[in-house]
Amino acid sequence: MIISAIISLGSIGAIGAIILYLVSVKFHVDEDPHIVSVTEVLPGANCGGCGFPGCNAFAVACVNAVSLDDLVCPAGGAETMNLVAAILGKEVSIKESKIAVVRCNGICEARPRTRFYDGARKCAIMGLFYRGETGCPYGCFGFGDCAEACLFDAIRINPKTQLVEVIEDRCTSCGACVKACPKKMIELRKRGPKSRRIYVACVNMDKDAIARKACANACTGCGNCLYECNFGAISITNKLAYINDAKCRLCRKCAPVCPTGSILELNFPPRKAMVQTDNA
């Protein structure tokens, strides 16, 4: 009886193996060796910043593409794309590097806590049921969903301000943090020459008095920066100023005229102090 069962199971297994073999032969697809070569030079982070579900899918897209102009690996940058181009014998245009910026300057002193949240410490969960622990419904929750989403440890919570901040030399502009933020206050912007950038660190679209009551550093849409800019880089929509990094010339004229300090200048040399002379 036992021997019969063993023979029966063995026969079924053998038949199944033969069927699987025949199916694999019939539906076998030869993979382009270039796909393997391209995949090997990619970072392997599978971060999705390229717009594809993983590095292998990006490699397939590169091999099948007529041009690499619309394809970019943010994690690997220009060096990786040059390697891909060399493997495939294609030209690649080097795109300007980007970096994540946090468009919130609601530090504790400017945005005091008005209520306490006693739920799950997740931005996504809090955003579904609660407007936040301060008077600003647009600002950073500070729970770090973006930091958890980042595969490169490029985001951390500042213990003093309780705001998320980007570690510049680690950011690959993959966009994972942008997708993870329920407030949509993280943006990918041009890294800029010498990593210098100017942007409005606020997404509050409330009216002047309401925005200022919620946060002393809120943009009120006063228009001072708009009138100061000579390059058409600034626009105001829904009481909120925005600086277009494609048009901005980093002249720095907008920041000093902002009454709330909501325009941030990163990595610039200190401004020269105004020297007053006494002619009396």
Residue 1's pLDDT is 65
Of 21 and 89, which is predicted with more confidence? 89
Q: How many domains does the chain have?
A: 2
Per-residue pLDDT, averaged over 58-72, amounts to 89
Residue 30 has pLDDT above 70, yes or no: no
Using one digit for the tens of pLDDT, what is the confidence trace for 141-168?
A: 999 999 999 999 999 999 999 899 999 9
- Among residues 22, 54, 88, which one ends one of the domains? 88
Residue appearing with tokens 């329920």:
182
Residue 3 has pLDDT above 90, yes or no: no
Residue 176's pLDDT is 92
* Shared-domain flag, residues 39 and 160: no
* Shared-domain flag, residues 42 and 109: no
CA distances from 19 to 12, 22, 27, 106 (A): 11, 5, 12, 64
Q: Which domain holds residue 53?
A: 35-88
* Shared-domain flag, residues 122 and 252: yes
Residue 195 has pLDDT above 90, yes or no: yes
Confidence of residue 261 (pLDDT cuts 50, 70, 90): very high
Residue 9's pLDDT is 72
CATH number of the structural domain spanning residue 54: 1.10.15
- Yes or no: say if 167 and 155 are a contact pair by the CB < 8 Å rule: yes
Residue 39 lies in a domain: yes
Confidence of residue 113 (pLDDT cuts 50, 70, 90): confident
Confidence of residue 274 (pLDDT cuts 50, 70, 90): low
Residue 280's pLDDT is 41
* Shared-domain flag, residues 52 and 146: no
* Shared-domain flag, residues 134 and 76: no
Residue 141 lies in a domain: yes
CA distances from 194 to 191, 249, 250, 267, 268 (A): 8, 13, 12, 8, 9
Residue 258 has pLDDT above 60, yes or no: yes
Per-residue pLDDT, averaged over 99-118, amounts to 91
Residue 251 CA to residue 231 CA, distance in Å, equals 10
* Shared-domain flag, residues 162 and 123: yes
* Shared-domain flag, residues 186 and 112: yes
CA-wise closest residue to 80 among 52, 53, 45, 51: 45
CATH number of the structural domain spanning residue 126: 3.30.70.20
* Shared-domain flag, residues 142 and 172: yes
249, amino acid identity: R
Residue 29's pLDDT is 55
Residue 252 lies in a domain: yes
Looking at the chain, the whole-number percentage of residues with pLDDT higher than 90 is 59
Residue 9 lies in a domain: no
Residue 128 lies in a domain: yes
Residue 140 lies in a domain: yes
Residue 176 lies in a domain: yes
Per-residue pLDDT, averaged over 242-257, amounts to 96
Residue 86's pLDDT is 92
Residue 237's pLDDT is 94
* Shared-domain flag, residues 196 and 261: yes
CA-wise closest residue to 134 among 85, 204, 64, 80: 204
- Yes or no: say if 226 and 235 are a contact pair by the CB < 8 Å rule: yes
Looking at the chain, the whole-number percentage of residues with pLDDT higher than 70 is 92
* Shared-domain flag, residues 230 and 183: yes
- Among residues 88, 113, 129, which one ends one of the domains? 88
* Shared-domain flag, residues 119 and 68: no
Residue 111 has pLDDT above 70, yes or no: yes
Per-residue pLDDT, averaged over 183-202, amounts to 94
Contacts of 113 (CB under 8 A, 6+ apart): 133, 134
- Among residues 18, 53, 88, which one ends one of the domains? 88
Residue 117 lies in a domain: yes
Per-residue pLDDT, averaged over 53-65, amounts to 91
Structure tokens that stand for 129 in this block: 């049921």
* Shared-domain flag, residues 179 and 141: yes
